[in-house]
Amino acid sequence: MPMNDTATTNDSATMKDTTRGYVDLHCHYLPAIDDGVRTTEDGVALCQGLHQIGYAQVVATPHIRTAMFENNKPGLEQALAQFRQDTEHTSGMPDTGLGAEHFFDDVFWSLFQNNGAVPYPGGKAMLVELPDQAIPLGTSQRMFEMRVKGIRPVLAHPERYRPLFKKSDELEGLVRVGALPLLDIMSLAGKYGRKPKRAAERMIKEQLYYAACSDCHRPTDVPLVAEGIDRLTHLVGAEAATAMLSDHPRAILAGTAP
Ligand SMILES: [Fe+2]
């Protein structure tokens, strides 16, 4: 299990939680780079908070979205390197890593085809988000092409897209071509309101999610993540919850997701 040496210096409760070894594939802890934390101190507090509730590794996924978050691969790599340097001697931190939350538009598609997008560590998968209001025509074709090229599209928070609030047909189509739906665990705690919460509960029943993530943007999100984990465990049982929080994110990174 990937674990920071410093984890062993924490109290017994923390150690017990840490051994669950969750892996977070969606989090905004790199400071002042998107709508996530503004300072390194808050980035550290966010990471330490997630570590306390059981996360062994937290992958940073800053937004890449034209006209909103003009990030690029070298800039994000530099930001992670700086964060690692700044936190080198900080205790209670999970392992880190880099991906990006790519807005799934023509700009992304051009980046993807020209090696400018940011895959997860290991290079086997990539996080994408869709517009809230409508799933663009051609999405499944592009996701299929990603899979053919050896990069699984991991779909951020499907429960938060309006076309999927009441039914999952369009999501099922994306899953058929290889997309891996990633539950935003705070949806279960009501962070985004009633409709995403209900959609998440339905998609869980429909067994559409492959894994779950935090999508934390600030340290105060951590208690909602903990509440969401409790809700998920209540809905699917401890074994399936651990699979979604730990085993399946690891499979995504290893390129062994079915
Ligand atoms: Fe996000």
Specify whether the CB–CB gap between 148 and 142 falls below 8 A. Answer: no
Q: How far apart are the first and last CA of the chain?
A: 21
Where do the structural domains in the chain lie, given as residue ranges? 5-254
Closest CA to 35 of 216, 224, 258: 216
> Residues near 196 by Cβ (< 8 Å), separated by ≥ 6?
157, 159, 160, 165, 184, 187
Answer yes or no: are the C-beta atoms of 228 and 185 closer than 8 Å: yes
Q: Is 4 helix (H, G, I), strand (E, B) or coil?
A: coil
- Alpha-carbon distance of 142 to 162, in angstroms, equals 21
Distance 114 CA to ligand 1 centre (A): 23
Which whole-number Å values give the CA distances from 255 to 55, 154, 182, in the listed order?
20, 12, 15
Q: How far is the CA of 234 from the centre of ligand 1 (A)?
A: 24
**Residue 246 to residue 252: CA distance in whole angstroms:** 10
**Which residues have C-beta under 5 Å from ligand 1, the single-atom ion?**
101, 215
CATH code at 5-254: 3.20.20.140
**How far, in Å, from the CA of 171 to the mean position of ligand 1?**
18
Question: How many whole angstroms from 217 Cα to the centroid of ligand 1?
Answer: 8
Per-residue pLDDT of the chain (258 residues; tens, 9 = 90+): 333 333 333 343 343 344 459 999 999 999 999 999 999 999 999 999 999 999 999 999 999 998 889 999 999 999 999 999 999 999 999 999 999 999 999 999 999 999 999 999 999 999 999 999 999 999 999 999 999 999 999 999 999 999 999 999 999 999 999 999 999 999 999 999 999 999 999 999 999 999 999 999 999 999 999 999 999 999 999 999 999 999 999 999 999 999
